[in-house]
Amino acid sequence: MQSFDLGKEGLRALNSALHGLKGQTNMTDWEVVNPKGAHAIAAGVDAPVDITVRGSTGYYCAGMNKQATIRIKGSAGPGVAENMMSGTVIIDGNASQYAGATGRGGLLVIKGNASSRCGVSMKGIDIVVHGNIGHMSAFMAQSGNLVVLGDAGDALGDSLYEARLFVRGSVKSLGADCIEKEMRPEHYALLEDLLKRGEADGKAKPEEFKRYGSARKLYNFNIDNAAAY
Amino acid sequence: MSDFPHTPPRYSATFTPAVNAEIRRAAASGIYDIRGGGTKRHLPHFDDLLFLGASISRYPLEGYREKCATDVWLGTRFAKKPIHLDIPVTIAGMSFGALSGPAKEALGRGASAAGTSTTTGDGGMTEEERGHSKTLVYQYLPSRYGMNPDDLRRCDAIEVVVGQGAKPGGGGMLLGQKISDRVAMMRNLPKGIDQRSACRHPDWTGPDDLEIKIHELREITDWEKPIYVKVGGARPYYDTALAVKAGADVVVLDGMQGGTAATQDVFIEHVGMPILACIPQAVKALQDLGMHRKVQLIVSGGIRSGADVAKAMALGADAVAIGTAALIALGDNDPKLEAEYQKLQTTADAYDDWHEGKDPAGITTQDPELFKRFDPVLGGRRLKNYLKVMTLEAQTIARACGKNHLHNLEPEDLCSLTIEAAAMAGVPLAGTSWIPGRNGGF
């Protein structure tokens, strides 16, 4: 295992080393100690490696991740895994605002709670939150799946496009154009897979969830819908 | 019936026929007017400034004999790989989606041949543009359509777009009729829906967050790329200062004459400030921070000629950007297509319904039949010619002012024709030493 002391060696040295990993490197196992809330830890990694961050991170940890599996043994600051392309990011603790924002692929797992705007503008990422999510989550979410084992805050899925939202607990309120939808067999299968990959298969069952999606009434402008905004 | 003459019909200066027509249109349609382009109202502009030229107190340089350099470095503050352009006229961000692929290719061809950069837009980077652009600026927009780390690494600079002059505080809009299969795929949205680009970034708010965001982008790109911050002309003194504080290499400042692919007419005409009023405030912010020329300033919004380039640079800009003018150079709004514009109930030089995707010139469309009409090689050549002419014009003026580099132009080379322009630009009214408000600050 490559152990990297962020306190001693600094962020630039860490990200430079991680960016240097190309293709089928055999340096596949990394550990980052003393993160102390630093920003942009392991941002822009593009290699099939495992990185464990031992502690809490600041903004944009694992930003734009490709291929890597990044585990945060603590909580994550705003914008964790923003615009992730592929790979997996797993947070043992809580995540601050905008977790998984604009993510285009891969899997983000938050074992604690996520703050507001979780999955904002998501574009293909899958997000599994073991706890609750805050207000305005999945705002303008375009595609991908957001799975919440706990409750959702106000205005879930406001101005939603084609992303699928699955919530087990209560939803404080739905945002504009977001409605509850029927759970069909393919959704149960999808949930089963996501719960398993999201390390939550022992915690919840697919049939306990409700599905929310876009009513698609605001896709093309109509003056009679203006009051919806 | 009286023999006295009737009072002749008199139009209201408030309720003009154009105002009344808009009221009727709104009443009939139930939707605000959406259009492309920038403001069409008359504004204090570069036309209200004149160069003084050399005289006894300063001597001119000989045209065609004595050198007047035009190159510019951008991104020298932090980037490991700053950009060096031959001319200070760049191509502003315009999206694939708003423009056709061949039009983006033509912009790349023309800009590269003239030794300058082009810029992506809200819709991601296309191969047409990357392949034909020697220097390509990649916009980082609130929508993040198509955003990915590979394109961040293969661009030459990154432009974090906070706002634009046509609609400071507003997001983008691409109506359903322009969402082709390719545009839909690049933006990860269903075909045919009205597609909105958010008005603010999804994962940061405010200058402190922006600093952290810029830091992340630098880390992802290993500190190689210059990072620009683009703002619409609203509060240019503070926006410039905050962009510098947040770590920008370059500030891009877009006045309200700057165009858009589509937004509400009420937004275009009533929000933001003319570029003439914006430049001195931004320059003052840079000077107050000791960063003028260290953080470069690119200005845009209504730049049409070498005279405009020279005036913007005399006020303190390092470079300018053109959008609308570049489209016209490519062939947009050409009177040769008048019969087709008439069919669209408009006329050449006034066509602005770019959002409808029916552009007879094949530039602002996603209709394959229409964009076949546009030749990107010819379009690129026309743009190159235009950029070269602008540069020659700016050099002509600079030599007349005794300057051996466009960057040596200064406010002292200018006078104003109107009190408004004198106050906004901070140069004296012609024939006087009067700068209104000069002692009162901004």
Contact B202 A98 (CB under 8 A): yes
Mean pLDDT of the B262-276 span: 95
Domain count, chain B: 1
Whether B365 maps to a domain, the answer reads yes
Assigned domain for B257 exists: yes
Is residue B442 one of the residues assigned to a domain?
no
pTM, to two decimals: 0.96
Number of domains in chain A: 1
For the stretch B33-49, pLDDT in tens is 999 999 999 999 999 99
Detail the DSSP E strand segments found in B105-191: 117-119, 135-140, 157-161, 172-174
Q: Tell me if B67 is assigned to some domain.
A: yes
Residues B403 and B409: beta-carbon distance below 8 Å: yes
Q: Which amino acid is at B324?
A: T
User: Which one-letter DSSP state was computed for residue B121?
Assistant: B
Residue B41: other Cβ atoms inside 10 A: 11
Task: Note the maximum CA span of chain A.
Answer: 61
Render pLDDT for A47-82 as a digit per residue (tens, 0 to 9).
Answer: 999 999 999 999 999 999 999 999 999 999 999 999
The alpha-carbon gap from A165 to the nearest alpha carbon of chain B, in Å, equals: 17
- Checking DSSP bridges between strand B296-300 and strand B250-254, what pairing results, if any? parallel
Counting other chains too, the contacts that B189-194 makes at CB distance below 8 Å and 24 or more residues apart are B189/A142, B189/A161, B189/A162, B190/A161, B190/A162, B190/A219, B192/A220, B193/A161, B193/A219, B193/A220, B194/A219, B194/A220, B194/A221
**pLDDT reading at A225 higher than 80:** no
Q: Give the 3-state DSSP-derived string for A96-110, with helices as H, strands as E and coil as C.
A: CCCCCCCCCCCEEEE
Cβ–Cβ gap A121/B143 under 8 Å: yes
Tell me: the pLDDT tens digits for B340-376?
Answer: 999 999 999 999 999 888 999 999 998 999 989 999 9
Tokens 């470095």 belong to: B73
Q: Once rounded to an integer, what is the mean pLDDT over residues A173-195?
A: 97
Q: Do the Cβ atoms of B327 and B364 come closer than 8 Å?
A: yes
Residues 133-192, chain A: which have Cβ within 8 Å of B? 139-140, 142-143, 159, 161-162
Q: Which of A168-182, B1-15, B141-155 has the lowest mean pLDDT?
A: B1-15
Q: How confident is the model over B188-208, as pLDDT tens digits?
A: 888 888 877 889 999 999 999
> Quick check: is B7 in a domain?
no
ipTM of the complex: 0.96
Q: Given an 8 Å threshold on Cβ–Cβ distance, is B203 in contact with A82? A: yes
pLDDT band for B440, please (50, 70, 90 cuts).
low
Q: How far is CA B288 from CA B230, B244, B285, B291, in A?
A: 20, 11, 5, 8
Q: Which domain range does residue B43 map to? A: 34-433
In this prediction, residues B89-106 reach a mean pLDDT of: 93
Distance from CA of A104 to the nearest CA of B (A): 9
Average pLDDT over residues A34-59: 97
CATH of the domain at B158: 3.20.20.70
Query: Mean of the pLDDT values across residues B83-94?
Result: 98
What confidence score (pLDDT) does residue B1 get? Answer: 59
pLDDT for residue B174: 73
Could you say which of B149, B176, B216 has the minimum Cβ distance to residue A85? B149
CATH number at residue A48: 2.160.20.60
Percent of chain B with pLDDT over 70: 98
Interval A22-36 mean pLDDT: 88
Asked if the structure places residue B426 within a domain, the reply is yes
Q: Across the interface, which of B152, B203, B209 has its CB nearest the CB of A101?
A: B203
What is the structure's pLDDT at B193?
82
Question: What percentage of chain A has pLDDT greater than the value 70?
Answer: 99
Range of the domain at A173: 2-228
